[in-house]
Amino acid sequence: MSAPQVQTQADRYAVIGNPVAHSKSPFIHARFAAQTGEAVEYDRLLAPLDGFVETVRAFMASGGRGLNVTVPFKLEAYALADTHSARAAAAGAVNTLRFDADGIYGDNTDGVGLVRDIETNLGVTLKGARVLLLGAGGAARGVVLPLLERGPRCLAIVNRTASKAEGLVAQFAAAAYEAGCTLTGGGPDAVDPYPYDVIVNATAGSLDAALPDCDDRAFGAATLAYDMMYAAEPTVFMRHAQSLGARSADGLGMLVEQAAESFYVWRGVRPDGAPVLAELRALLAGLRAAQKA
C-alpha cells in the first residue's frame, strides 16, 4: 500500500504597485514556478497611493511570503524594510520584499537583472568594457553597483543635470576603486566623442519618445545600446542607436532576469530566464502583428 500523498500548500507572492494591471510579473513567476517545481502562487496587488504600508501589512497578515515592488513604491519599500541587502542600500530603493521570522528583508534586483541580461542573454562582457550610463535618477542609482562589480574599465555617468551624476560618482567612488574602474560623471558634454562598448539608457525619455542628450559619436558598430524601457515596438533610443550603426536591445530581458533574482531571494532556487524571455518576446511579436493587421 503506497503512502498517502501530501498536498503542498502554495506560498503566496505578488507584485505591488499603482498602476499594476499591466504587470507581466504574474506571467513570469508562473513560468518560474512550473520550471522549478516550487509551490508558488503569484498575483497583482493594487495599493492606494497613500496606503502602501497598510496594504503590505495586510498581505503579510494573510500569509503572504514576499512582494515585488514597482512604481511608485520603491522608496517606501526601502523605508519599510527592517534589513537591507548591500545592493538595496546602495540603490536607496527596494524592489523585492521577503517576509520571514527575522522581519521584513528588502533587496534590489534591478541591477543584477540588467547585468545578467547584458552578459548572459546578449553575450556582451562587461569586464574591461567602456560603459556609458545615461541618467542619474533612481533607475540609474540601482544599477551602478552591480555594473561596477562586473569590473568594467571605465563607467561614465551622464545626466542633463550634471550635479546629480557627480553625486552618484561621489557615492560609488569607493566601490569603483575596489573594482579597479575609472568612474566619472557630469553633464552631456562629459560624453566621450568616440564609441563606447555599452551605453545604458536609464532615463525615462523613451516613455515620452524623447532622446537623452548624448553625442552621436558615442555609438559605433561594436556598441550595445541598451534601453531599460521596453515596448511592443523598438524605443526611440533603440531606433536612434540603430541609425548610427549600433546594436540595440530593450529592457524586457532585464525584467525577466530581475524577476529570476527575486525568485532566488525568496526560494533559494534560481530559475532559467532565457525560455521565459523567449516566450515573452513571441507574445510581444504577436501583439505587434495584431496591431498592424
The yes-or-no verdict on residue 131 having pLDDT over 60 is yes
Mean pLDDT, residues 9-17: 96
Mean pLDDT, residues 96-102: 96
The yes-or-no verdict on residue 1 having pLDDT over 70 is no
Lowest-pLDDT range of 1-15, 32-46, 216-230: 1-15
pLDDT in the model for residue 232 = 82
CATH number assigned to the domain covering 11-108: 3.40.50.10860
Residue 23 known to bind ligand: yes
pLDDT in the model for residue 288 = 73
Percent residues over pLDDT 90 in the chain:
89
Residue 248 known to bind ligand: no
pLDDT in the model for residue 8 = 65
Position of cell 531599460?
228
The yes-or-no verdict on residue 7 having pLDDT over 60 is no
**pLDDT tens per residue across span 265-274:** 999 999 999 9
CA distance 102 to 82: 8
**pLDDT tens per residue across span 147-165:** 999 999 999 999 999 999 9
The yes-or-no verdict on residue 5 having pLDDT over 50 is no
The yes-or-no verdict on residue 52 having pLDDT over 60 is yes
pLDDT in the model for residue 6 = 45
Mean pLDDT, residues 178-202: 97
Catalytic option among 29, 31, 65, 74: 74
Higher pLDDT, 167 or 231: 167
CA distance 86 to 106: 10
Residue 164 known to bind ligand: yes
Predicted confidence band of residue 21 (pLDDT cuts 50, 70, 90): very high
Residue 228 known to bind ligand: yes
Do residues 131 and 197 lie in contact, with contact meaning Cβ atoms separated by under 8 Å? yes
Residue 260 known to bind ligand: no
Residue 230 known to bind ligand: yes
User: For 111-250, which CATH class?
Assistant: alpha beta
Predicted confidence band of residue 26 (pLDDT cuts 50, 70, 90): very high
Do residues 200 and 214 lie in contact, with contact meaning Cβ atoms separated by under 8 Å? no
CA distance 226 to 119: 12
Do residues 118 and 247 lie in contact, with contact meaning Cβ atoms separated by under 8 Å? no
Residue whose C-alpha is closest to residue 169's, from 188, 183, 148:
183
Percent residues over pLDDT 70 in the chain:
97
This prediction's pTM = 0.93
Residue 47 known to bind ligand: no
74 is catalytic: yes
Residue whose C-alpha is closest to residue 139's, from 170, 171, 111:
111
Parse the chain into domains and list their residue ranges.
Answer: 11-108, 111-250
Residue 251 known to bind ligand: yes
